[in-house]
Amino acid sequence: MRRVRSFPILYLGLGALFLAVTASRGQAQGQPGFEWPDKAKNLRVLPKSTSKDDLRATMVGFSRALGVRCPFCHVGEEGKPLNTFDFPSDKNPMKGVARGMMKMVQDVKSDLHHIKFQEPDRVSLGCVTCHHGRPRPMTLAEELRGVYDAGGIDSTLSRYASLRARFYGRAAYDFGEESLNEIAGALMDKGKVDDAIRILKLNVEQYPESSRAYDSLADAYLKDGQKEQAIQASKKALELDPKNRNAERRLKELGSEGK
């Protein structure tokens, strides 16, 4: 009955998720060994007949998918031996969230089963499908907008750098040029043109061959009244893509067409 392993859900006993990893580290550091229970207590979504091997596999899967450790969902202190944790306890509210997410995935899987796809092989569904190693499956733009609202532009640029260093190439976030364009657009709508320009300058640094990145920067410069900078960015956009009609139109309006 290995179907338990197909339960990769968004938020489950994430804490326990990290159990296997934490347990192995704890033993390596001389901590008392942790034994998975032969019969798990207080299971509400997983089958009550879940074996300890299936429980371990499920929790490790959650841990890797969400990038969290045992205290995320369970009652216990980070760094303490796992045998000091109260895993059956429901006092940590995240356990309830985890159970809800597990049920949601079950429902989605059930709905997908009734859809007739043309492809013979169905795509598997689990917490990793959305989370990719993050507790909250937010887009890069959503993540950075929250950082901006809480700490401003310097914090936003710093978080972008740290996220890129940690997650680039892992499918966790879309680090393509459109993500920064989206953030800059939201800042422009708020009248934060100076901060939008800083974001867009970062974008052309990351994507120096992108006509769209320079085109967006030109728009921001123009909105800020920096005509010469708008002209230069527009020329670069047109140089990179001679079919960039937006840059071509802007240069014509600014009286720099062909110059």
DSSP per position, 153-175: HHHHHHHHHHHHHHHTTTTSS--
Which band of pLDDT confidence, cut at 50, 70 and 90, is reported for residue 198?
Answer: very high
Q: Where are the beta strands (DSSP E) in the chain?
A: none
* CATH code, 149: 1.25.40.10
Residues 125 and 146 in one domain: no
Which band of pLDDT confidence, cut at 50, 70 and 90, is reported for residue 257?
Answer: low
Residues 6 and 120 in one domain: yes
Q: What digits encode the pLDDT tens for the residues 86-107?
A: 889 999 998 888 888 888 888 8
3-state SS assignment for residue 15: helix
Residues 160 and 106 in one domain: no
How many residues are given for the chain? Answer: 259
Residue 258 lies in a domain: no
pLDDT at residue 151 in the model: 97
pLDDT above 50: residue 28: no
Residue that is last in its domain, among 100, 131, 162: 131
Six-digit token pair at 160? 């972008």
Model pTM above 0.85: no
Dihedral sign of CA atoms 216, 221, 224, 199 in order: positive
pLDDT above 90: percentage of residues in the chain:
42
Residues 9 and 124 in one domain: yes
DSSP character at residue 114: T
Rounded to a whole number of angstroms, the CA Rg of the chain reads: 25
Question: Residue 161 class from Cβ within 10 Å (0-12 exposed, 13-18 middle, 19+ buried)?
Answer: exposed
pLDDT above 70: residue 247: yes
Nearest to 8 by CA among 170, 128, 130: 128
248 or 33, which is more confident: 248
Six-digit token pair at 212? 């769209």
Cα(256)–Cα(246) distance, integer angstroms: 14
3-state SS assignment for residue 3: helix
239 or 129, which is more confident: 239
Residues 149 and 192 in one domain: yes
Residues 47 and 75 in one domain: yes
Cα(154)–Cα(190) distance, integer angstroms: 17
Establish how many alpha carbons lie within 13 A of residue 104's alpha carbon, considering only the half-sphere containing its beta carbon. 12
Cα(155)–Cα(205) distance, integer angstroms: 18
pLDDT above 50: residue 62: yes
Tally of structural domains, the chain: 2
Write out the residue range of the structural domain in which residue 7 sits: 2-131
Which band of pLDDT confidence, cut at 50, 70 and 90, is reported for residue 13?
Answer: very low
pLDDT above 50: residue 53: yes
pLDDT at residue 12 in the model: 37
Check: CB of residue 15 under 8 Å from CB of residue 89.
no
